[in-house]
Amino acid sequence: MAKSHPAHEQFHDQDAPRQTQWARSNSASFALLASIASLSIILYNPHGIRFVSALVQGSGTLELNRLGMPPDDPTESVAVDPDEPRYRAIGEYLARRYRVSSEMATDIVSKAYAAGRETKLDPLLILAVISIESRFNPFAESPRGAKGLMQVIPRFHPEKFDPLGGEEAAFNLAANITVGAQILKQYIRRAGDLADALRMYVGASSDEKENGFSAKVMTERDRLHYVLQRHQNGSRMVRPEPVIKLLASAT
């Protein structure tokens, strides 16, 4: 069960060195850019000005990459089609494994990919969390108030649910996946480590309390990756050994 509660206080001291390092890095970058800009103005060269503009844009892109938010993949379509072959392949596997309808599983897969694109998070990681948290039961609810596919407690995250229709949207597939992905991305950025972020997501403060949640999610993500690879290769593959050290795209 995922408590998915705020954990702001314990990270303030840890974030300070990162902010200082970021400030120093940016200061050096802006100093270099200022020097190049001055040289371009002296030379009064339009090409030089365009070059400086390109460098500024490039610097912004590098910062986004550093924060785990790379630019959108131009090969990805904006609209998510539930009938896309890879979504169907993953959906059919999940339908068999968790005994749900293929149509619903494929719809959840497409929504996980949409949320992954929005949050710059691995959609297979999102699906792995859903697998362990709710076993693809969109109406799952824990005694402590965790709801939906990703077992989010709505009262802890009203600011995330408000734009999606309020806490009543907790059982809506898209809303639940979107909020759950936002929470997980937030924890990954704070913790700087996927396993720690997953422990935060499930509400555990130690390995003993989490009951192997992070390892289960990583293993399930490995299975989904194998299914996707097999589909993309169009042939049978020898199943690889599970990869325990996974890096989410947001780290």
Whether the per-residue pLDDT at 51 is higher than 60: the answer is no
Q: Cα-flanking dihedrals φ and ψ of residue 246, to 5°? A: -105, 145
* Rounded-to-integer distance, Cα 213 and Cα 183, Å: 16
Q: What's the pLDDT tens digit per position in 157-192?
A: 999 999 898 888 999 999 999 999 999 999 999 999
For residue 205, what pLDDT band results from cuts at 50, 70 and 90?
A: low
For residue 6, what pLDDT band results from cuts at 50, 70 and 90?
A: low
Other CB atoms closer than 10 Å to residue 209's CB: what's the count?
11
Q: Are 152 and 176 in contact (CB under 8 A)?
A: yes
Q: Are 67 and 83 in contact (CB under 8 A)?
A: no
For residue 123, what pLDDT band results from cuts at 50, 70 and 90?
A: very high
Q: Are 53 and 72 in contact (CB under 8 A)?
A: no
- Name the residue among 208, 72, 183 with its Cα closest to residue 133: 183
Check residue 45 and give its pLDDT. Answer: 44
| Residue 249, amino acid | S
Tell me the mean pLDDT in the region 214-243. Answer: 81
| Residue 9, amino acid | E
Tell me the mean pLDDT in the region 62-74. Answer: 35
Tell me the mean pLDDT in the region 125-139. Answer: 97
Q: Are 185 and 178 in contact (CB under 8 A)?
A: no
Q: In the CATH hierarchy, which top-level class contains the domain 85-233?
A: mainly alpha
Instruction: Identify which of 10-24, 37-51, 146-160, 195-209 has the greatest average pLDDT.
Output: 146-160
Q: Cα-flanking dihedrals φ and ψ of residue 13, to 5°? A: -70, -35
Question: Does pTM surpass 0.75?
Answer: no
Q: Which residue has the higher pLDDT, 9 or 187?
A: 187
Check residue 167 and give its pLDDT. Answer: 86
Domain residue spans in the chain? 9-66, 85-233
Tokens at residue 20, please? 């200082």
Q: Are 217 and 132 in contact (CB under 8 A)?
A: yes
> Cα–chain-centroid distance for residue 22?
22
Write out the DSSP string of 126-160.
Answer: HHHHHHHHHTT-TT-B-TT--BTTTTB-GGG-HHH
Whether the per-residue pLDDT at 39 is higher than 60: the answer is no
* Rounded-to-integer distance, Cα 220 and Cα 209, Å: 20
